[in-house]
Structure 1
Amino acid sequence: MHDAQIGGRRAARREIATPVPRTPTRTRTPRRSLAAAAVLSVLGMLAGVALVPPPQAGDALPFAAADAPHLGDVQKLDVAADVSVPAVSHESYVATTGEKTLVAGGTNVDWAKLVLVEGGWPLTEENITFMMRWMRQENGPDNWWNRNNPLNNGQGSGGGSGLGSYPTLIEAAYYAAENLQSGRYPAVDAALARGDSADATAQAIWASAWASSHYGYGTHWSSRPYEVVEAPPSAWGR
């Protein structure tokens, strides 16, 4: 740039008698005013929090709070050494076995259960085992329904010696229970009512007058596992 031009610009600046004041682009707020506004803002926030009701006991936690890991102290509960643990009770339920269900089954086990049902004795495994062993001593398992009289019972069968017969196995079960509860076999009735020992019930029948041989007081009595054999439908009246 030429020296003449530079000198002209300097001379023009000196000719300005009164400087023009510069208009401020932003108004500055005093610091004290800013501090007061901040205090009022904080007080407003606190007042808003105070108006919000606290969460109730059953309210669900927000998603973030519920899923966040526990960062506080672990809570512990001390229990006195002499506090006893309560026993847990397990109730037992026994399904009622009806006549129709047993007749439909049609086996020697079903007939043994039917006698117990007719007599009101419990259907325990010990009672069923005793009945199956007793039936086996009176008639072989392959023909346990012989004359529809598995126990060779004389009551109601038309044969006092036990060689009579019944129209069906259903009548045979009824009369077998009736005879055992007639008062002539109180020890057998009581053992079946307990239902806790097949051997004890067997000893009661050995000592009774049901069989003149008394089953050899156990020498003619087998305790081997019993066989399950189905009778012909006609024996059940079906």
Structure 2
Amino acid sequence: MRPLAGFATLAVIGIVGTLSLVPVAPPSPVLAADADTVTAGQTVEIADGVTAQQVSHESYTASTGPQTLVAGGTNVDWAKLVLIDGDWPVTEENITFMMRWTRQENGADNWWNRNNPLNNGQGSGGGSGLGSYVDLVEAAFYAAQNIKSGRYPAVDAALQRGDSADATAQAIWASPWASSHYGYGTHWSSRPYEVIEAPAEAWGR
């Protein structure tokens, strides 16, 4: 029996030795879809001297493009266009002042009269304010230019602050814009303003 036992032992050793010679299969290749998983631990190095930008989220202001305002076509759009041309903040107080002012000059229902909502003499061909402009876009430009000309510093300053329609109204009353000075407020209405669209041709559309 011993020769058989020895033969069996040799057979087992031979099998184990054969298995040890079989090459190990290479690891499965990573599919492209798994690439993100593999590289999730990557790091990004930032060069020396680069600092993070400080971003303030305290307040935001938005400016509306002139073409959007022209397409809107209302007296509110025109008021905003004047403010943009004058580089004044487009605040509700500034818009309210502009709306009240144009209403005093031409009335709400015909605020675009002669394409000159503020009866502005500068650039309109009418020194007394009875001239007209090609369109309301040009009228807004000349209105802003006149206010910023240096003849109306208190009005300019009040619009720059943009925090009180009443304060800006007082500035225009005291200015030489209107010989009547709007009765220093007695000819000035502070009732809510109406939003009214002008004809397309008044905008040059």
TM-score by length of 2: 0.72
Give 5+ residue unaligned stretches, structure 1.
1-88
User: What does 1:85-96 align with in structure 2 at a 5 Å threshold?
Assistant: 90-96=57-63
Task: Report the AA paired with residue 79 of structure 2.
Answer: A
Q: Give the corresponding residue for 2:35.
A: none
Cα distance in 1 for partners of 2:63, 2:189 equals 30
Cα distance in 2 for partners of 1:191, 1:95 equals 20
Q: Give the corresponding residue for 2:13.
A: none
- 1:104-127: CA deviation from partner (whole Å, max 9, x where unpaired): 000000000000000000000000
Q: CA deviation at 1:96?
A: 1.7
Q: CA deviation at 1:95?
A: 1.7
Cα distance in 1 for partners of 2:129, 2:98 equals 17
Q: CA deviation at 1:187?
A: 0.2
TM-score by length of 1: 0.62
Cα distance in 1 for partners of 2:58, 2:67 equals 27
- 1:183-227: CA deviation from partner (whole Å, max 9, x where unpaired): 000000000000000000000000000000000000000000000
Residue of structure 2 aligned with 1:231, choices 191, 194, 198: 198
Task: Report the AA paired with residue 193 of structure 2.
Answer: Y
Q: CA deviation at 1:90?
A: 4.7
Cα distance in 1 for partners of 2:84, 2:63 equals 9
Q: Give the corresponding residue for 1:205.
A: 172
Residue of structure 2 aligned with 1:140, choices 99, 107, 112: 107
Aligned pairs, number: 150
Q: Give the corresponding residue for 1:220.
A: 187
After superposition, the CA RMSD in angstroms is 0.8
Name which structure has the greater RCO, CA cutoff 8 Å, separation 6+: 2
Q: Give the corresponding residue for 2:150.
A: 183
Q: CA deviation at 1:92?
A: 1.4
Task: Report the AA paired with residue 58 of structure 2.
Answer: E
Cα distance in 2 for partners of 1:198, 1:96 equals 20
Cα distance in 2 for partners of 1:114, 1:204 equals 21
List structure 1 segments (4+ residues) > 6 angstroms apart after TM superposition. none
Cα distance in 2 for partners of 1:90, 1:196 equals 21
Residue of structure 1 aligned with 2:97, choices 120, 130, 133: 130
Q: Give the corresponding residue for 2:121.
A: 154
Give 5+ residue unaligned stretches, structure 2.
1-55
Task: Report the AA paired with residue 235 of structure 1.
Answer: A
Residue of structure 2 aligned with 1:119, choices 79, 86, 91: 86
User: What does 1:12-27 align with in structure 2 at a 5 Å threshold?
Assistant: none
Q: CA deviation at 1:93?
A: 1.4
Structure whose alpha-carbon radius of gyration is higher: 1
Residue 100 of structure 1 aligns to a residue whose secondary structure is helix
